[in-house]
Structure 1
């Protein structure tokens, strides 16, 4: 697929928010009984449902400038002709973001989304390659991303892209007790 990648700042968050992040939860990852802290078992979800992170209060990209100083954040968007196919929000060197662990050599994928019509067509991979290039150009040695046990497709995508699961955090989301935080990292060559 022919894609054009464009870089912008936080002024593009409204455009980024127009991309749906909703997905069907038809599989989940469970902690393996008696297994290690990173042993996960995939199982079918008997009653699939739709998860839309943006539906949670304050979670939409257009609301982030109210909650955070987004002045140093970057958005890489993928365009197919005149249609926005996807985008990734990247952060590095922002002391206000705990997920960066006070590390100057760590970049964070804050949000990666692909328009439903473009899912499974290589847009996510193109955005991830661009994110790695962006992080490398800033002297970062690692790229970090967060997902959850309800987002099996995202977890498997990051695994295929060379990310390693380093942390499984039950209870990370006080209002979402059935969702377990997964933190993945990838070295930047």
Structure 2
């Protein structure tokens, strides 16, 4: 029997300007294409329509990030991006970031959280399904490299 993921030590907070180097480094190491730039992250840190979250084990240890977008007048938020450092994968970081994203969306009056994921990303798909997300559609050739995407949604 496998032990449950360790989530008690994972702390999620709103990203700060001082996190920019870590955010950009993780973005570049996690995604070959479709990356957020330093300028985009900087803009999102001060935006009313975006939330950048950071997961850490302590103040000095950056483990992962999530970016959530909100549209004025909409009750649906979008989990735009989520990434964890390789050494943090499978340790509850993704779940903690998703949970914080959902809580924030709920607190802003959203009734659902949507996301897109590469159709060939079995690990992420299992995580989303385990967290209660269901497939609501598919996009052909959605990513820059031509990969298809599955569209997921979870009612909040």
| Normalised-by-shorter TM-score class | 0.7 to 0.9
More strand by share: 1
Structure number with the higher helix fraction is 2
Unaligned runs of 5+ in 2: 1-5
Q: Residues 25-174 of structure 1: matches in 2 within 5 Å? A: 52-53=30-31, 55-56=32-33, 59-64=35-40, 70=44, 71-72=47-48, 73-81=50-58, 82-93=60-71, 104-173=74-143
Give the 3-state SS of the residue equivalent to 2:26 in structure 1: coil
Work out whether residues 21 and 115 of structure 1, in 8 Å CA contact, stay in contact via their aligned partners in 2. Answer: no
Residues matched between the structures, number = 145
| CA RMSD after TM alignment | 2.4
Provide structure 1 residue ranges, at least 5 long, that are not aligned to the other structure.
Answer: 23-51, 95-102
2:3 aligned residue: none
TM-score relative to the length of structure 1: 0.67
Q: Secondary structure at the residue paired with 2:113? A: strand
* TM-score normalised per structure 2: 0.80
1:184 to 132, 135, 152: 152
Residues in 1 aligned to 2:65 and 2:142: alpha-carbon distance in whole angstroms: 25
Q: Which has the larger radius of gyration?
A: 1
